[in-house]
Amino acid sequence: MFKLIIRLLSFFAKEVNEVRRQPRLVLSLIFGPFLILLLFGAGYQGERPLLRTALVLPREGLDQVQIEDLKGAVQTNFSLISADTNEGAAMQQLRAGTIDVVEVLPSDINQRVLRGEQAPVEFRYNEINPLNEQWIQYLGYAQVNEINRTILLQTAQGMQGQAASTKQMLSQVGGQLDALKSGLTAAKAAETQQSIRQLKQAIELLASSPLLVSQVSNNGTDAAETQQQLLELRNSLDTLDQAISNGTLDQQQARISETRDRITQLEQATTVLSKLPPQVLISPLQQQYQNIHGKSLDFMTFYAPSVVALILQHIAVTLGALSLVRERLLGALEVFRVAPVSMLQVLLGKYLGYTLFIVIISTVLVGLMLALGIPFLGSILLFVGLVVLFTLASLGIGFLISTWSKSESQAVQLSMLVLLLSIFFSGFFLPLENFWPPVRNVGYMLPLTHGIIGFQDIMLRGSVPGDFTWIMLGSIAAATFVVVALISQWQFRRS
């Protein structure tokens, strides 16, 4: 048993000394990716693209107030460069690359609405970047909603003006109806009849507007019932108009009282409607956000655990990939074959040596992050355990490459391939859920996928990683160790 430990520790010391004798390799493996990703984290702003936009206005149908409102709506999502009716000049700028988007407003909005059609707002662009195209289409969707809101706001202001005029008519007609009960002179009757006819027209306009009807319905009745009450009021006014013309007003005293009560109710409702802010009428709901975490992290802090995991995996895979290849090229396997050692002892020694080395590197990296102000909220012991398991899984990938490679250059190339796979399919930049499920399984087979989740849980959330993280890292480490042990034992016997 003592001899077994001596042999194991001898290979452990051999690997540690070989790494120690290559300080440039160590520094390049640690600080090269760290500095590159640090520069990326510090320089990346994470903002949407600033799209330079030319707005093409219709030649007629808009006054200056509407144009200014539309400009304000466009500037909500785009950087407005120009706003005029010259479509040809705007398209020429687009082809020349001086602007990114040409937004063309239709000239026949009202006519299309009357025909029951939606008027299209055209967004023309010249893009080969699919991400920019998605941004343009998303911002265009938000832009059209903002323009619709601007148009509705103008409409609501007009309807509020109509409601205010209707309120004045209601007050005037209400007073005249009170006078009807005591009798009218011919001149007064003609004035009342004229007021009644004007109020009838206002009531018809009010009843034909669903938005006004819904806002007038503030007493617990629904819109359909309110619209029916408005129509009944119009019929009552029509009856009183005919009674004045026929001289039979004395027979309509009950209807006069009923109409007066309805006018009082409607007058109260229009008073409320005319005083409401137009923004509340158009946008009764307003978004409100609450992050139970407190606030989100900046990009540099959020990506820091991912950077550590990527660096550690890259170092482990590279060291493991070069290890057995170098032994074969130097003829060390033949020496080991005649020595009283087994291939399993060689592998365990390499695992121990590289694991110790990477744990030390992880300590240095975490120290650098703490110096940069990156938080560490979780358990240190839990983090060390996760680093060890993550390192074993990464070393397994590296040793697997080493058993397959015939030369050091081939091992380096395969290590870079693992690095590229890890960057694109581990959730480092793009969420893993965005991928097609069969492709997503590639990410689950990479140690970095689970290392990122575990490191973020411990460092940024202060929580324990889920069982899936531990199980997957353990499974990758165990499966690769078994496969590497079998292949290397076969190669050891062949040598």
Please identify, among 126, 146, 173, the residue that sits at the C-terminal boundary of a domain: 126
Position 144 in a domain: no
CATH of the domain at 230: 1.20.120
Give me the number of domains the chain comprises.
3
pLDDT in tens, the chain (495 residues): 556 666 556 656 666 666 666 666 666 656 665 666 566 555 555 566 778 999 888 877 666 656 777 787 778 778 889 888 898 999 999 998 899 999 888 877 666 665 667 778 888 988 877 777 888 888 888 878 877 777 776 666 666 565 556 555 556 555 555 555 555 555 566 666 676 666 666 666 555 555 555 555 554 445 565 566 666 666 776 776 676 676 665 555 666 666 666 666 666 655 655 565 666 555 655 556 666 667 778 777 888 899 899 989 999 999 888 887 777 766 656 555 555 567 777 788 888 888 988 998 899 889 888 888 888 999 999 999 999 999 999 999 999 998 888 888 888 888 888 888 898 888 887 788 778 888 888 889 999 999 999 999 999 988 999 999 999 999 999 999 999 989 888 876 765
Cα distance between residue 468 and residue 478, in whole Å = 15
The structure's pTM equals 0.63
- If asked whether residues 60 and 116 sit together in one domain, one would say yes
Strand ranges for 126-250 from DSSP E: none
Please identify, among 237, 260, 282, the residue that sits at the C-terminal boundary of a domain: 282
Cα distance between residue 147 and residue 161, in whole Å = 21
Position 266 in a domain: yes
- If asked whether residues 451 and 471 sit together in one domain, one would say yes
CATH of the domain at 121: 3.40.1710.10
Cα distance between residue 133 and residue 295, in whole Å = 30
Q: Which domain holds residue 240?
A: 156-282
CA distance from start to end of the chain: 27
Cα distance between residue 244 and residue 405, in whole Å = 107
- If asked whether residues 221 and 336 sit together in one domain, one would say no
- If asked whether residues 362 and 278 sit together in one domain, one would say no
Query: Helices (DSSP H) in 44-129: which residue ranges?
Result: 64-74, 87-96, 109-114
Contact between 383 and 389 under an 8 Å Cβ cutoff? The reply is no
- If asked whether residues 105 and 167 sit together in one domain, one would say no
- If asked whether residues 228 and 299 sit together in one domain, one would say no
- If asked whether residues 29 and 70 sit together in one domain, one would say no
Position 139 in a domain: no
- If asked whether residues 442 and 395 sit together in one domain, one would say yes
- If asked whether residues 39 and 175 sit together in one domain, one would say no
> Where do we find the tokens 């390499």?
350
Position 141 in a domain: no
- Dihedral of CA atoms 357, 362, 367, 369 in degrees, nearest 10, equals 150
Cα distance between residue 200 and residue 204, in whole Å = 6
> Phi/psi at 151 (nearest 5 deg)?
-65, -45
- If asked whether residues 20 and 59 sit together in one domain, one would say no
Cα distance between residue 93 and residue 222, in whole Å = 52
Contact between 381 and 329 under an 8 Å Cβ cutoff? The reply is no
- If asked whether residues 62 and 205 sit together in one domain, one would say no
Please identify, among 126, 148, 164, the residue that sits at the C-terminal boundary of a domain: 126
Cα distance between residue 166 and residue 267, in whole Å = 8
> Phi/psi at 131 (nearest 5 deg)?
-65, -40
Residue 473: name the closest of 414, 392, 415 by CA: 392
